[in-house]
Structure 1
Amino acid sequence: MSRRVVCWRHGQTLWNVEHRFQGHTDIPLDETGVAQARRAASLLAALRPSMIVSSDLRRAADTAAALAEITGLEVILDKDLRERGGGEWEGLTREQIAAGWPREYASWEAPGGELVTDVADRVSAAIRRWAAKLDDDGLLVIASHGAALRLGIARTLGLPEDLWSALGGLSNCSWSVLEEGSKGWRLLEHNAGTLPEPISSDDLPQAAEDRA
C-alpha cells in the first residue's frame, strides 16, 4: 500500500498581491492565478490522480477545476479544507494588522479567528478521511490554502506543535506530496512546482515571509 496525497495551494488572487488576509472571504483567482492553475494542472495530470477534493472557496475550487478539465474527474468540495478563518483581520493588509493589533500580530492570533491547532486538526482530518477512500497506490489531489495546508501537513506528519514552523509556506499553485505507508505518513516533496519565489499567504509571517 502506498497512498499519496498532493496538497495543492490555489492560484494567485488580487488579495494575495495586496497582502490582504483572505481567510474565509470568497476571493476569486486573478488572471495570473488562472494561468498558474492551468500550468500546474498540466503537470499534476501526468501523475494520474484518482480523486480531486477541494475547499469550497472558489479560489481553490477554480484551481481544482483546471485539473478536472484535463483528467475528466469531478471535483468534490469539502468546507473542512477552507483557509484559516481570520476573524477581524479578513480583508486587511499585514501593515494594517500590525498597526491595529501589535500584540496579536506578534502571535498571529486574529481576534475572532481560528486557532492554529483547530485548523491543523480539521485539515488533517479531511486529508486522512479522503485518503482512506483511495484504492491502494491511489493518488488524491487536495486543492486548498497556504496556512491550512501547512498546518494540516504538520499535523498529519505527527510533528509536535513547536516544530510546525520548520515547514515553510507554499507559493501560489505549488504543492506538497504526502505518502502513507506501513509506518505512517511521510513528506515526499514540499512547495514543489516552481522555482523559489515570494510567498503571499494568510499563514504566519515567518512561514509566508517574502523571499526576494
Structure 2
Amino acid sequence: MSETPRVLFWRHGRTAWNVEKRFQGQTDIDLDPVGHAQAERAGRLLATLNPDVIVASDLKRAADTAGYLGRASGVPVEYDKALRERFGGSWEGFTAAQLAERWPAEHPTMSIPDGEDVAEVGDRMRAAVDRGLARTPAGGLLVIVSHGAALRMGISRMLGIPDERREILGPLSNCCWSVLQARGDAWRLMEHNAASLPEPVVLSDDA
C-alpha cells in the first residue's frame, strides 16, 4: 500500500429543500426517499475502497448518508460538528429566487449579512480534516461526509485556493464526492463531483 494518504469528500444525499432550492445552512433537514436511495447506492460503491476512518457532520442529512457507508464497510462513523454546513443566518429556509429578490446585492457573491464568514468555514473544515487524518493509518483513506458549500471551502483550503476564488471548483451534486491525495507537502485533486469508482490512471511524464 502507498504511504500517501487520501481524503474523500462526500456530499450528503438529496433533501426536500434541495429540490425546492432552499438555503439549508445548519437547519437540520432529513434526507428524502431519493436521498436515502442515493446514499445506499453510493455507500455500497465507496465501501469497496476500504475506508479506514469515516467522519461526518452531525446534521441528520450528512449523518444518515454516512451511516450507509458505515454499515456497508463495517467502519464506525465518527461525528464532528466542525463539518456542519455554513451557517446561513436569516437566509436559511429561503429559496434562491427569494434570496435574489430580498438581497440582490449580496446574493450573487453569497455574502450573507448575518451568516458565517467563509474563512471561518474553511478554517474549521481544515481542522476537522486534520483531526481525521491524525487517526488515519499511513496510506489510508479518510472519508469526510459533509455539505456542498462547506465541502468546497474545505477542498479549496486543502488545495491552497484563496477563499475569494473558491468558485473555481464546480459544485458537488447530491451524494457525489471528490478525492484529494497528498503529494509531498501539498494536496492535489484526483477526482471532483464523481459518482462512480475511479479508473486506473496511466501516469504521464509530469505525474
TM-score over 0.5 for the pair: yes
Aligned match of 1:171 in 164, 170, 173? Answer: 173
Which residue of 2 is the match for residue 83 of structure 1?
85
Shift in Å, 1:111: 2.5
How far apart, CA to CA, are the structure 2 residues paired with 1:88 and 1:34? 28
In the alignment, does 2:153 pair up with 1:151?
Answer: yes
SS, match of residue 47 in structure 1: coil
Q: TM-score, normalised by structure 1?
A: 0.88
**CA RMSD across the alignment:** 1.1
| Residue range with higher mean Cα deviation, 180-189 or 4-13 | 180-189
Off by >6 Å, runs of 4+ in structure 1:
none
Query: What is residue 52 of structure 1 aligned with on the other side?
Result: 54
Displacement of 1:182 in angstroms is 2.0
Identity of aligned residues (%): 56
Select 2:72's aligned residue among 67, 70, 73: 70
Asked if 1:15 is matched to 2:17, the reply is: yes
| Residue type of the alignment partner of 2:35 | G
Is the alpha carbon distance of 1:5 and 1:55 closer, same or farther for their aligned partners in structure 2, counting shifts above 3 Å?
A: same
Q: Which residue of 1 aligns with 2:33?
A: 31
CA-to-partner distance for each residue in 1:32-87, whole Å, 9 max, x for gaps? 00000001011100100001100000000000000011111111010000001110
The TM-score with structure 2 as length reference comes to 0.91
Give the letter for the 2:31 counterpart. Answer: L
Unpaired stretches in structure 2, ≥5 consecutive residues: 197-207
Asked whether the equivalents of residues 53 and 135 of structure 2 are also in contact (C-alpha less than 8 Å), the reply is no
1:141 aligned to 132, 139, 143, which one?
Answer: 143
SS in 2 for 1:191: strand
Query: Could you tell me how far 1:109 is from its partner in structure 2?
Result: 1.4
Q: Could you tell me which residue of structure 1 aligns to residue 117 of structure 2?
A: 115
User: What is aligned with 2:97?
Assistant: 95
For the residues of structure 2 that align with 1:161 and 1:40, how far apart are their CA atoms?
29
Amino acid at match of 2:85: E
Once residues 106 and 11 of structure 1 are traced to their aligned partners in structure 2, the CA distance between those partners, rounded to angstroms, is 25
Larger radius of gyration: 2
Superposition deviation, residue 105 in structure 1:
1.1
Q: Bigger shift: 75-84 or 114-123? A: 114-123
The aligned amino acid for 2:76 is E
Question: For residues 38 and 83 of structure 1, what CA distance do their matches in structure 2 show?
Answer: 22
Residue 151 of structure 1 aligns to a residue whose secondary structure is helix
> Structure 2 CA distance, aligned partners of 1:110 and 1:163?
17
